[in-house]
Chain A
Amino acid sequence: MTTGTNRSTATNRAIATDTAAVATEATGAGSAAGATRLVDDGLFADVAPPRLAGARCSGCGTVVFPRQESCPQCSGGTMTAHVLPVRGRVWSWTLQAFPPKPPYRPPAEGYRPYHVGYVDLGEVLVEARLEVPRADIRIGLEVRLITVPAYLDEDGTQVLTFAFEPDPEGER
Protein backbone atom coordinates (compact mmCIF):
# COMPACT_ATOMS: atom_id res chain seq x y z
CA MET A 1 0.00 0.00 0.00
CA THR A 2 1.36 3.37 -0.99
CA THR A 3 1.27 6.11 1.55
CA GLY A 4 0.83 9.78 0.91
CA THR A 5 4.18 10.77 2.32
CA ASN A 6 6.74 11.08 -0.40
CA ARG A 7 8.86 13.74 1.22
CA SER A 8 10.94 13.26 4.31
CA THR A 9 10.49 15.29 7.44
CA ALA A 10 14.00 16.62 7.01
CA THR A 11 13.17 17.92 3.55
CA ASN A 12 10.03 19.58 4.82
CA ARG A 13 11.94 21.30 7.55
CA ALA A 14 14.58 22.56 5.16
CA ILE A 15 11.96 23.95 2.79
CA ALA A 16 10.07 25.57 5.63
CA THR A 17 13.23 27.23 6.90
CA ASP A 18 14.20 28.43 3.46
CA THR A 19 10.80 29.79 2.61
CA ALA A 20 11.14 33.30 3.99
CA ALA A 21 14.54 33.91 2.45
CA VAL A 22 13.66 32.41 -0.91
CA ALA A 23 10.28 34.09 -1.01
CA THR A 24 12.00 37.40 -0.34
CA GLU A 25 14.51 36.77 -3.10
CA ALA A 26 11.73 35.80 -5.47
CA THR A 27 9.90 39.04 -4.82
CA GLY A 28 11.04 41.70 -7.20
CA ALA A 29 13.62 39.48 -8.83
CA GLY A 30 10.90 37.76 -10.83
CA SER A 31 10.29 34.04 -10.65
CA ALA A 32 12.91 31.57 -11.69
CA ALA A 33 13.94 28.00 -11.17
CA GLY A 34 14.89 27.54 -7.53
CA ALA A 35 12.54 30.28 -6.38
CA THR A 36 9.51 29.58 -4.25
CA ARG A 37 6.21 31.26 -3.50
CA LEU A 38 3.26 30.55 -1.26
CA VAL A 39 0.16 29.11 -2.90
CA ASP A 40 -1.84 32.02 -1.47
CA ASP A 41 -0.23 34.75 0.64
CA GLY A 42 -3.53 35.40 2.39
CA LEU A 43 -3.38 32.03 4.14
CA PHE A 44 -0.16 32.79 5.98
CA ALA A 45 0.71 35.21 8.78
CA ASP A 46 4.35 34.13 8.67
CA VAL A 47 6.52 31.73 6.72
CA ALA A 48 9.63 30.86 8.75
CA PRO A 49 8.39 29.17 10.76
CA PRO A 50 4.96 29.07 9.09
CA ARG A 51 1.89 30.45 10.84
CA LEU A 52 -1.64 30.37 9.45
CA ALA A 53 -3.65 33.59 9.27
CA GLY A 54 -7.16 33.23 10.62
CA ALA A 55 -9.57 35.80 11.96
CA ARG A 56 -11.45 36.07 15.24
CA CYS A 57 -14.83 37.63 15.91
CA SER A 58 -14.86 40.31 18.60
CA GLY A 59 -18.50 39.49 19.34
CA CYS A 60 -18.62 35.72 19.88
CA GLY A 61 -14.97 34.62 19.69
CA THR A 62 -15.49 32.41 16.64
CA VAL A 63 -12.20 31.69 14.86
CA VAL A 64 -12.28 31.18 11.09
CA PHE A 65 -9.73 30.17 8.47
CA PRO A 66 -8.93 31.64 6.00
CA ARG A 67 -9.72 35.20 7.08
CA GLN A 68 -13.13 36.58 6.23
CA GLU A 69 -14.72 39.95 6.78
CA SER A 70 -17.87 38.92 8.63
CA CYS A 71 -18.66 36.37 11.32
CA PRO A 72 -20.65 33.33 10.14
CA GLN A 73 -21.84 32.68 13.70
CA CYS A 74 -23.19 35.94 15.10
CA SER A 75 -23.03 38.42 12.19
CA GLY A 76 -22.52 41.01 14.92
CA GLY A 77 -18.87 41.44 15.80
CA THR A 78 -15.93 42.69 13.80
CA MET A 79 -13.30 40.27 12.55
CA THR A 80 -9.68 40.87 13.45
CA ALA A 81 -6.57 39.06 12.24
CA HIS A 82 -5.79 36.05 14.41
CA VAL A 83 -2.72 33.83 14.09
CA LEU A 84 -3.65 30.17 14.52
CA PRO A 85 -1.85 27.72 16.83
CA VAL A 86 0.78 25.58 15.09
CA ARG A 87 0.19 22.39 17.09
CA GLY A 88 -2.89 20.22 17.27
CA ARG A 89 -4.27 16.72 16.90
CA VAL A 90 -5.61 14.85 13.87
CA TRP A 91 -9.44 15.02 14.12
CA SER A 92 -10.14 12.94 11.03
CA TRP A 93 -8.10 11.77 8.06
CA THR A 94 -8.31 10.08 4.69
CA LEU A 95 -6.15 9.28 1.68
CA GLN A 96 -6.63 10.83 -1.77
CA ALA A 97 -6.09 7.57 -3.63
CA PHE A 98 -6.86 8.72 -7.19
CA PRO A 99 -5.51 11.75 -9.09
CA PRO A 100 -7.95 14.67 -8.81
CA LYS A 101 -9.15 16.44 -11.96
CA PRO A 102 -7.96 20.00 -12.68
CA PRO A 103 -7.84 22.63 -11.24
CA TYR A 104 -5.78 20.31 -8.98
CA ARG A 105 -2.10 20.76 -9.86
CA PRO A 106 0.11 17.74 -9.24
CA PRO A 107 3.64 18.17 -7.88
CA ALA A 108 6.63 18.26 -10.25
CA GLU A 109 7.26 14.53 -9.84
CA GLY A 110 3.63 13.73 -10.67
CA TYR A 111 0.62 12.76 -8.59
CA ARG A 112 1.19 10.43 -5.68
CA PRO A 113 -1.54 9.47 -3.19
CA TYR A 114 -1.60 11.90 -0.28
CA HIS A 115 -3.30 12.21 3.08
CA VAL A 116 -5.69 14.98 4.02
CA GLY A 117 -7.56 15.60 7.22
CA TYR A 118 -8.81 18.03 9.81
CA VAL A 119 -6.48 19.10 12.57
CA ASP A 120 -8.02 20.18 15.86
CA LEU A 121 -6.18 23.33 16.94
CA GLY A 122 -8.49 23.85 19.92
CA GLU A 123 -10.23 27.01 18.82
CA VAL A 124 -10.77 25.82 15.25
CA LEU A 125 -10.38 22.68 13.11
CA VAL A 126 -8.33 23.27 9.96
CA GLU A 127 -8.41 21.07 6.85
CA ALA A 128 -4.91 20.34 5.57
CA ARG A 129 -2.58 17.99 3.83
CA LEU A 130 -1.14 15.52 6.35
CA GLU A 131 2.48 14.50 5.83
CA VAL A 132 2.11 11.40 7.98
CA PRO A 133 2.93 7.81 6.94
CA ARG A 134 -0.06 5.48 6.67
CA ALA A 135 1.28 3.28 9.46
CA ASP A 136 1.31 6.20 11.89
CA ILE A 137 -1.81 8.11 10.94
CA ARG A 138 -4.69 8.00 13.40
CA ILE A 139 -7.28 10.22 15.04
CA GLY A 140 -5.64 11.94 18.00
CA LEU A 141 -2.11 11.98 16.55
CA GLU A 142 -0.23 15.12 17.63
CA VAL A 143 0.92 17.15 14.65
CA ARG A 144 2.56 20.48 13.88
CA LEU A 145 2.37 22.95 11.03
CA ILE A 146 4.87 22.88 8.14
CA THR A 147 4.97 23.95 4.52
CA VAL A 148 5.35 21.47 1.66
CA PRO A 149 5.83 21.77 -2.10
CA ALA A 150 2.47 21.68 -3.88
CA TYR A 151 3.32 22.17 -7.56
CA LEU A 152 5.61 24.08 -9.92
CA ASP A 153 4.59 27.25 -11.70
CA GLU A 154 5.22 27.23 -15.44
CA ASP A 155 8.44 29.20 -14.90
CA GLY A 156 9.71 26.63 -12.42
CA THR A 157 8.84 28.50 -9.25
CA GLN A 158 8.12 26.01 -6.45
CA VAL A 159 4.69 26.68 -4.95
CA LEU A 160 4.36 25.88 -1.26
CA THR A 161 1.26 25.08 0.72
CA PHE A 162 0.61 24.34 4.38
CA ALA A 163 0.49 20.86 5.87
CA PHE A 164 0.91 19.10 9.20
CA GLU A 165 3.47 16.44 10.18
CA PRO A 166 3.88 14.33 13.33
CA ASP A 167 4.97 16.55 16.20
CA PRO A 168 8.34 15.28 17.49
CA GLU A 169 7.61 16.98 20.79
CA GLY A 170 4.20 15.31 21.11
CA GLU A 171 3.37 12.37 23.36
CA ARG A 172 4.05 8.98 21.88
Chain B
Amino acid sequence: MTRARSDEVYVVGCGMHPFGRDETVTGMDMAERAVREALRDAGVAWADIGYAAGGSDVSGKPDTMVGRLGLTGVPFVNVQNGCATGASTVLAVANALRAGEAALGLAVGFDKHGRGAFNASPARYGLGDWYAETGMMLTTQFFALKTRRYLHEHGISERALAMAAARAFRNGSEHPMAWRRKPLTVQEILDSAEVSPPLTQYMFCSPGQGAVALVLALGDRAFDLCERPVRLASVALRTRRFGSFEVFAPWLPPGPHRSPTVDAAEAVFRAADVRPADVQVAQVQDTDSGSELIHLAETGLCGHGEQEELLAAGETDPTGRLPVNTDGGCLAGGEPVGASGLRQFHEVVRQLQGRAPGAQVPGGPRVGFTHVYGAPGISACSVLTV
Protein backbone atom coordinates (compact mmCIF):
# COMPACT_ATOMS: atom_id res chain seq x y z
CA MET B 1 0.00 0.00 0.00
CA THR B 2 1.51 3.32 -1.02
CA ARG B 3 0.47 6.54 0.64
CA ALA B 4 1.45 10.09 -0.16
CA ARG B 5 4.08 11.34 2.29
CA SER B 6 1.52 13.86 3.54
CA ASP B 7 -0.60 10.92 4.79
CA GLU B 8 2.23 9.04 6.46
CA VAL B 9 2.59 8.98 10.23
CA TYR B 10 6.06 9.04 11.79
CA VAL B 11 7.50 8.62 15.26
CA VAL B 12 9.47 11.79 15.96
CA GLY B 13 10.21 11.47 19.65
CA CYS B 14 10.27 8.86 22.38
CA GLY B 15 10.69 8.72 26.12
CA MET B 16 10.91 5.91 28.61
CA HIS B 17 10.94 5.59 32.36
CA PRO B 18 13.23 2.72 33.42
CA PHE B 19 11.43 -0.58 33.95
CA GLY B 20 11.72 -2.59 37.13
CA ARG B 21 10.78 -1.75 40.70
CA ASP B 22 10.94 1.70 42.24
CA GLU B 23 8.76 2.27 45.26
CA THR B 24 9.34 6.03 45.16
CA VAL B 25 7.23 6.62 42.04
CA THR B 26 3.62 5.94 41.06
CA GLY B 27 2.50 4.77 37.63
CA MET B 28 1.39 8.29 36.80
CA ASP B 29 4.75 9.76 37.94
CA MET B 30 6.55 7.48 35.52
CA ALA B 31 4.12 8.32 32.72
CA GLU B 32 4.65 12.03 33.24
CA ARG B 33 8.42 11.61 33.06
CA ALA B 34 8.18 9.52 29.91
CA VAL B 35 5.90 12.10 28.26
CA ARG B 36 8.20 14.99 29.13
CA GLU B 37 11.18 13.07 27.78
CA ALA B 38 9.35 12.25 24.55
CA LEU B 39 8.33 15.90 24.08
CA ARG B 40 11.91 17.01 24.71
CA ASP B 41 13.18 14.35 22.29
CA ALA B 42 10.81 15.66 19.61
CA GLY B 43 11.57 19.28 20.43
CA VAL B 44 7.94 20.18 20.98
CA ALA B 45 5.81 21.43 23.89
CA TRP B 46 2.81 19.70 25.43
CA ALA B 47 0.67 22.55 24.06
CA ASP B 48 1.66 21.47 20.53
CA ILE B 49 0.04 18.04 20.97
CA GLY B 50 -3.29 17.99 19.17
CA TYR B 51 -4.40 14.46 20.00
CA ALA B 52 -3.41 12.00 22.73
CA ALA B 53 -4.11 8.40 23.74
CA GLY B 54 -2.95 6.71 26.90
CA GLY B 55 -3.18 3.25 28.38
CA SER B 56 -2.83 1.65 31.77
CA ASP B 57 -4.15 -1.63 33.09
CA VAL B 58 -4.11 -0.95 36.83
CA SER B 59 -2.45 2.41 37.54
CA GLY B 60 -5.08 5.04 36.95
CA LYS B 61 -6.96 6.91 34.26
CA PRO B 62 -4.37 8.13 31.77
CA ASP B 63 -6.25 11.28 30.75
CA THR B 64 -6.00 12.64 34.29
CA MET B 65 -2.35 13.42 33.56
CA VAL B 66 -3.49 16.54 31.70
CA GLY B 67 -3.67 18.01 35.20
CA ARG B 68 0.12 17.60 35.41
CA LEU B 69 1.06 18.33 31.81
CA GLY B 70 -1.21 21.30 31.18
CA LEU B 71 -4.93 21.83 30.70
CA THR B 72 -4.79 22.54 26.99
CA GLY B 73 -8.15 21.01 26.12
CA VAL B 74 -6.46 18.30 24.03
CA PRO B 75 -8.64 15.29 23.11
CA PHE B 76 -7.25 12.38 25.15
CA VAL B 77 -8.49 8.79 24.67
CA ASN B 78 -8.04 6.18 27.42
CA VAL B 79 -7.21 2.65 26.30
CA GLN B 80 -7.38 -0.53 28.34
CA ASN B 81 -6.67 -3.32 25.90
CA GLY B 82 -4.49 -5.79 27.77
CA CYS B 83 -1.16 -6.56 26.16
CA ALA B 84 -2.29 -4.68 23.04
CA THR B 85 -2.77 -1.45 25.00
CA GLY B 86 0.36 0.22 23.62
CA ALA B 87 -0.33 -0.70 20.01
CA SER B 88 -3.94 0.44 20.45
CA THR B 89 -2.81 3.88 21.61
CA VAL B 90 -0.51 4.15 18.59
CA LEU B 91 -3.35 3.04 16.31
CA ALA B 92 -5.74 5.58 17.83
CA VAL B 93 -3.28 8.45 17.46
CA ALA B 94 -2.14 7.47 13.95
CA ASN B 95 -5.73 7.19 12.72
CA ALA B 96 -6.61 10.56 14.25
CA LEU B 97 -3.64 12.21 12.56
CA ARG B 98 -4.52 10.68 9.20
CA ALA B 99 -8.14 11.72 9.64
CA GLY B 100 -7.02 15.32 10.01
CA GLU B 101 -7.68 15.71 13.73
CA ALA B 102 -4.19 17.03 14.38
CA ALA B 103 -0.65 17.09 12.97
CA LEU B 104 1.04 16.07 16.18
CA GLY B 105 -0.06 13.36 18.62
CA LEU B 106 1.12 11.57 21.71
CA ALA B 107 0.80 7.92 22.78
CA VAL B 108 1.65 6.96 26.35
CA GLY B 109 1.45 3.73 28.34
CA PHE B 110 2.30 2.95 31.95
CA ASP B 111 1.68 0.49 34.74
CA LYS B 112 2.85 -0.48 38.17
CA HIS B 113 1.85 -4.00 39.20
CA GLY B 114 2.08 -5.79 42.54
CA ARG B 115 4.55 -8.60 43.01
CA GLY B 116 3.96 -12.16 41.84
CA ALA B 117 1.91 -13.76 39.12
CA PHE B 118 -1.15 -11.94 37.79
CA ASN B 119 -4.26 -12.94 39.70
CA ALA B 120 -7.45 -13.12 37.68
CA SER B 121 -11.08 -13.21 38.69
CA PRO B 122 -13.12 -15.99 37.05
CA ALA B 123 -16.26 -13.84 36.78
CA ARG B 124 -14.34 -11.23 34.80
CA TYR B 125 -13.55 -13.91 32.23
CA GLY B 126 -17.06 -15.38 32.15
CA LEU B 127 -16.01 -18.50 34.06
CA GLY B 128 -17.50 -20.27 37.09
CA ASP B 129 -15.77 -20.00 40.47
CA TRP B 130 -14.86 -23.69 40.24
CA TYR B 131 -12.22 -22.91 37.64
CA ALA B 132 -10.13 -20.80 40.01
CA GLU B 133 -11.03 -22.72 43.17
CA THR B 134 -9.66 -25.96 41.72
CA GLY B 135 -6.37 -24.30 40.76
CA MET B 136 -6.61 -24.04 36.99
CA MET B 137 -6.86 -20.28 36.55
CA LEU B 138 -3.20 -19.37 36.20
CA THR B 139 -1.59 -17.74 33.20
CA THR B 140 1.66 -19.58 33.98
CA GLN B 141 -0.09 -22.94 33.44
CA PHE B 142 -1.41 -21.78 30.09
CA PHE B 143 2.00 -20.73 28.83
CA ALA B 144 3.49 -24.02 30.02
CA LEU B 145 0.72 -26.12 28.43
CA LYS B 146 0.98 -24.28 25.13
CA THR B 147 4.77 -24.50 25.16
CA ARG B 148 4.80 -28.21 26.05
CA ARG B 149 2.49 -29.00 23.14
CA TYR B 150 4.43 -26.78 20.75
CA LEU B 151 7.79 -28.37 21.60
CA HIS B 152 6.20 -31.80 21.13
CA GLU B 153 4.68 -30.99 17.74
CA HIS B 154 7.78 -29.34 16.32
CA GLY B 155 10.58 -31.40 17.84
CA ILE B 156 12.14 -28.57 19.84
CA SER B 157 14.14 -29.28 23.00
CA GLU B 158 13.68 -27.63 26.39
CA ARG B 159 17.19 -26.27 26.00
CA ALA B 160 15.90 -23.90 23.29
CA LEU B 161 13.70 -22.28 25.96
CA ALA B 162 16.77 -21.56 28.05
CA MET B 163 18.69 -20.23 25.05
CA ALA B 164 15.94 -17.69 24.35
CA ALA B 165 15.98 -16.55 27.99
CA ALA B 166 19.78 -16.37 28.07
CA ARG B 167 19.74 -14.08 25.03
CA ALA B 168 17.10 -11.90 26.67
CA PHE B 169 19.16 -11.43 29.84
CA ARG B 170 22.33 -10.89 27.80
CA ASN B 171 20.60 -8.07 25.90
CA GLY B 172 19.04 -6.76 29.11
CA SER B 173 22.46 -6.58 30.74
CA GLU B 174 23.47 -3.99 28.14
CA HIS B 175 20.27 -1.95 28.31
CA PRO B 176 20.18 0.95 30.80
CA MET B 177 16.39 0.80 31.18
CA ALA B 178 15.97 -2.95 31.60
CA TRP B 179 15.04 -4.43 34.96
CA ARG B 180 16.99 -7.72 34.91
CA ARG B 181 20.56 -6.85 33.98
CA LYS B 182 22.41 -9.91 35.15
CA PRO B 183 23.38 -12.29 32.35
CA LEU B 184 22.46 -15.92 33.08
CA THR B 185 23.82 -19.04 31.46
CA VAL B 186 21.65 -21.62 29.73
CA GLN B 187 22.41 -24.04 32.54
CA GLU B 188 21.50 -21.54 35.27
CA ILE B 189 18.16 -20.96 33.55
CA LEU B 190 17.47 -24.70 33.15
CA ASP B 191 18.41 -25.27 36.81
CA SER B 192 16.28 -22.44 38.24
CA ALA B 193 13.12 -23.25 40.20
CA GLU B 194 10.42 -25.12 38.35
CA VAL B 195 7.32 -22.92 37.93
CA SER B 196 5.30 -24.92 35.45
CA PRO B 197 7.42 -27.35 33.47
CA PRO B 198 8.83 -27.11 30.87
CA LEU B 199 9.13 -23.49 32.04
CA THR B 200 11.42 -22.55 34.93
CA GLN B 201 11.55 -19.36 36.97
CA TYR B 202 13.99 -17.56 34.67
CA MET B 203 11.98 -18.46 31.57
CA PHE B 204 9.09 -16.28 32.80
CA CYS B 205 8.86 -12.52 32.91
CA SER B 206 7.43 -10.85 36.02
CA PRO B 207 4.80 -8.16 36.31
CA GLY B 208 6.74 -4.96 36.92
CA GLN B 209 6.52 -1.25 36.37
CA GLY B 210 7.45 1.28 33.73
CA ALA B 211 6.22 3.91 31.30
CA VAL B 212 6.86 4.81 27.66
CA ALA B 213 5.67 7.69 25.48
CA LEU B 214 5.93 8.43 21.77
CA VAL B 215 5.34 11.63 19.84
CA LEU B 216 3.86 11.01 16.41
CA ALA B 217 3.69 13.49 13.55
CA LEU B 218 1.93 13.60 10.22
CA GLY B 219 3.62 14.08 6.86
CA ASP B 220 6.10 16.93 6.36
CA ARG B 221 5.77 18.06 9.94
CA ALA B 222 7.71 14.97 10.93
CA PHE B 223 10.68 15.99 8.78
CA ASP B 224 10.60 19.54 10.12
CA LEU B 225 10.90 18.19 13.65
CA CYS B 226 13.13 15.17 13.35
CA GLU B 227 16.35 14.39 11.57
CA ARG B 228 15.43 10.74 11.24
CA PRO B 229 11.68 10.20 11.64
CA VAL B 230 10.61 6.56 11.74
CA ARG B 231 7.70 5.71 9.50
CA LEU B 232 4.81 3.77 10.96
CA ALA B 233 4.35 1.62 7.87
CA SER B 234 1.42 -0.32 9.35
CA VAL B 235 -0.24 -1.39 12.59
CA ALA B 236 -2.80 -4.16 12.92
CA LEU B 237 -4.82 -5.32 15.89
CA ARG B 238 -6.78 -8.60 15.87
CA THR B 239 -8.93 -10.60 18.27
CA ARG B 240 -9.11 -14.38 18.29
CA ARG B 241 -11.14 -16.50 15.94
CA PHE B 242 -12.72 -19.85 16.65
CA GLY B 243 -10.18 -22.50 17.46
CA SER B 244 -7.39 -20.37 18.90
CA PHE B 245 -5.69 -21.76 22.04
CA GLU B 246 -6.09 -19.06 24.66
CA VAL B 247 -5.53 -18.52 28.35
CA PHE B 248 -8.29 -19.59 30.77
CA ALA B 249 -9.87 -22.10 28.38
CA PRO B 250 -11.67 -24.99 30.14
CA TRP B 251 -11.95 -26.61 26.71
CA LEU B 252 -10.53 -26.41 23.22
CA PRO B 253 -11.85 -27.68 19.93
CA PRO B 254 -9.71 -30.32 18.20
CA GLY B 255 -6.93 -28.57 16.23
CA PRO B 256 -5.54 -26.94 14.28
CA HIS B 257 -5.40 -23.98 16.66
CA ARG B 258 -4.82 -20.69 14.84
CA SER B 259 -3.62 -17.73 16.89
CA PRO B 260 -4.68 -14.09 16.43
CA THR B 261 -0.93 -13.46 16.04
CA VAL B 262 -1.08 -15.13 12.63
CA ASP B 263 -3.89 -12.83 11.51
CA ALA B 264 -2.30 -9.65 12.89
CA ALA B 265 1.11 -10.44 11.38
CA GLU B 266 -0.30 -11.29 7.96
CA ALA B 267 -2.31 -8.08 7.95
CA VAL B 268 0.56 -5.87 9.01
CA PHE B 269 3.04 -7.28 6.48
CA ARG B 270 0.47 -7.03 3.69
CA ALA B 271 -0.37 -3.43 4.56
CA ALA B 272 3.30 -2.43 4.77
CA ASP B 273 4.20 -4.34 1.61
CA VAL B 274 7.07 -5.91 3.52
CA ARG B 275 7.96 -9.58 3.83
CA PRO B 276 8.88 -11.15 7.17
CA ALA B 277 12.29 -11.92 5.65
CA ASP B 278 12.87 -8.15 5.22
CA VAL B 279 12.73 -7.53 8.98
CA GLN B 280 16.09 -6.47 10.42
CA VAL B 281 15.10 -5.97 14.04
CA ALA B 282 12.12 -7.58 15.73
CA GLN B 283 10.35 -7.37 19.06
CA VAL B 284 8.06 -10.29 19.85
CA GLN B 285 6.05 -10.92 23.01
CA ASP B 286 8.14 -13.02 25.35
CA THR B 287 5.94 -13.35 28.40
CA ASP B 288 7.93 -16.57 28.69
CA SER B 289 10.57 -18.16 26.48
CA GLY B 290 8.06 -20.59 25.02
CA SER B 291 5.90 -17.71 23.85
CA GLU B 292 8.86 -16.16 22.07
CA LEU B 293 9.58 -19.37 20.17
CA ILE B 294 5.93 -19.76 19.18
CA HIS B 295 5.56 -16.12 18.16
CA LEU B 296 8.69 -16.11 16.00
CA ALA B 297 7.03 -18.71 13.80
CA GLU B 298 3.44 -17.47 14.05
CA THR B 299 4.51 -14.03 12.83
CA GLY B 300 6.32 -15.63 9.88
CA LEU B 301 9.78 -14.46 11.02
CA CYS B 302 10.90 -18.10 10.90
CA GLY B 303 9.43 -21.51 10.17
CA HIS B 304 7.89 -23.77 12.82
CA GLY B 305 10.68 -25.88 14.27
CA GLU B 306 13.51 -23.65 13.04
CA GLN B 307 13.80 -21.70 16.29
CA GLU B 308 16.32 -23.88 18.07
CA GLU B 309 18.76 -23.76 15.19
CA LEU B 310 18.40 -19.97 14.90
CA LEU B 311 19.07 -19.53 18.61
CA ALA B 312 22.00 -21.93 18.67
CA ALA B 313 23.61 -20.17 15.71
CA GLY B 314 23.26 -16.76 17.37
CA GLU B 315 20.99 -15.54 14.56
CA THR B 316 18.60 -13.84 17.00
CA ASP B 317 21.44 -11.93 18.70
CA PRO B 318 21.87 -8.22 17.88
CA THR B 319 24.63 -9.20 15.44
CA GLY B 320 22.65 -12.04 13.86
CA ARG B 321 20.45 -12.26 10.79
CA LEU B 322 17.23 -11.73 12.78
CA PRO B 323 17.90 -9.69 15.95
CA VAL B 324 15.08 -10.39 18.42
CA ASN B 325 14.17 -8.47 21.59
CA THR B 326 17.34 -6.43 21.50
CA ASP B 327 16.38 -4.66 24.73
CA GLY B 328 15.84 -7.95 26.57
CA GLY B 329 12.10 -8.05 25.96
CA CYS B 330 9.61 -8.78 28.72
CA LEU B 331 12.01 -11.31 30.23
CA ALA B 332 14.56 -8.64 31.10
CA GLY B 333 12.19 -5.69 31.30
CA GLY B 334 9.30 -7.21 33.18
CA GLU B 335 5.77 -6.67 32.02
CA PRO B 336 4.01 -3.47 33.02
CA VAL B 337 1.02 -4.27 30.81
CA GLY B 338 0.19 -0.73 29.69
CA ALA B 339 3.80 0.16 28.89
CA SER B 340 5.08 -3.10 27.48
CA GLY B 341 3.87 -2.67 23.90
CA LEU B 342 5.23 0.87 23.68
CA ARG B 343 8.58 -0.36 25.02
CA GLN B 344 8.80 -2.42 21.85
CA PHE B 345 8.15 0.67 19.72
CA HIS B 346 10.70 2.65 21.74
CA GLU B 347 13.37 0.04 21.15
CA VAL B 348 12.68 -0.42 17.44
CA VAL B 349 12.53 3.34 16.82
CA ARG B 350 15.85 3.88 18.57
CA GLN B 351 17.41 0.94 16.68
CA LEU B 352 16.27 2.31 13.31
CA GLN B 353 17.58 5.75 14.25
CA GLY B 354 20.94 4.21 15.12
CA ARG B 355 20.77 5.31 18.76
CA ALA B 356 19.77 2.16 20.63
CA PRO B 357 20.09 2.59 24.40
CA GLY B 358 21.63 -0.89 24.67
CA ALA B 359 23.07 -3.21 22.03
CA GLN B 360 22.81 -1.53 18.63
CA VAL B 361 22.08 -3.71 15.60
CA PRO B 362 24.99 -3.01 13.25
CA GLY B 363 24.70 -2.02 9.60
CA GLY B 364 21.90 0.54 9.85
CA PRO B 365 18.72 -1.55 10.01
CA ARG B 366 15.84 -0.06 8.00
CA VAL B 367 12.90 -2.37 8.74
CA GLY B 368 11.62 -3.11 12.24
CA PHE B 369 8.73 -5.16 13.59
CA THR B 370 6.80 -5.31 16.85
CA HIS B 371 4.41 -7.98 18.11
CA VAL B 372 2.31 -8.35 21.24
CA TYR B 373 -0.07 -11.10 22.24
CA GLY B 374 -2.27 -11.45 25.28
CA ALA B 375 -5.48 -12.41 27.00
CA PRO B 376 -8.18 -13.12 26.06
CA GLY B 377 -6.83 -13.73 22.57
CA ILE B 378 -5.59 -10.50 21.08
CA SER B 379 -2.54 -9.60 19.06
CA ALA B 380 -1.12 -6.42 17.60
CA CYS B 381 1.78 -6.07 15.19
CA SER B 382 3.49 -3.13 13.55
CA VAL B 383 6.06 -2.50 10.85
CA LEU B 384 8.34 0.52 11.24
CA THR B 385 10.77 1.70 8.57
CA VAL B 386 13.34 4.39 7.85
> Footprint of B on A, CB under 8 Å?
1, 39-40, 42-43, 54, 62-66, 72-73, 91-98, 100-101, 103-105, 114, 116-118, 120, 122-129, 139, 150-151, 159, 161
> Footprint of A on B, CB under 8 Å?
116-117, 119, 121-122, 128-130, 132-138, 141, 144-146, 148-149, 152, 193-199, 242-243, 249-254
**Which of A63, A92, A124 gathers the greatest number of chain B CB atoms within 10 Å?**
A92
Least distance between A136 CB and chain B CB atoms (Å): 14
Identify which of A40, A65, A92, A104 contacts B135 (C-beta below 8 A): A104
Identify the closest chain A residue to B153 (Cβ): A139
Task: Please judge, given known A-B contacts A62-B253, A64-B251, A101-B119, whether A116 and B145 are in contact too, CB under 8 Å.
Answer: yes
Q: What residues of chain B lie closer than 8 Å to A103, measured between beta carbons?
A: 121-122, 129, 132-133
Least distance between B250 CB and chain A CB atoms (Å): 5
CA distance A160 to B135 in the complex (A): 13
Q: What are 30 contact pairs spanning A and B, CB under 8 A?
A: A39-B130, A40-B128, A62-B253, A65-B250, A91-B149, A92-B145, A92-B146, A94-B199, A95-B196, A96-B141, A97-B195, A97-B196, A97-B197, A100-B132, A100-B137, A103-B121, A103-B122, A104-B133, A116-B141, A118-B252, A124-B253, A125-B251, A126-B251, A127-B136, A127-B249, A128-B136, A129-B135, A129-B136, A150-B133, A161-B130
Q: Is the CB of A73 within 8 A of B254?
A: no
User: Majority SS of interface residues in chain B?
Assistant: loop
Q: Is the CB of A116 within 8 A of B135?
A: yes
Q: What residues of chain B lie closer than 8 Å to A63, measured between beta carbons?
A: 253
Identify which of B130, B135, B146, B243 contacts A96 (C-beta below 8 A): B135
CA distance A4 to B117 in the complex (A): 20
CA distance A125 to B198 in the complex (A): 20
CA distance A151 to B134 in the complex (A): 8
Q: What residues of chain A lie closer than 8 Å to B136, measured between beta carbons?
A: 116, 127-129
Identify the closest chain B residue to A137 (Cβ): B197
Q: Is the CB of A151 within 8 A of B148?
A: no
Identify the closest chain A residue to B243 (Cβ): A73
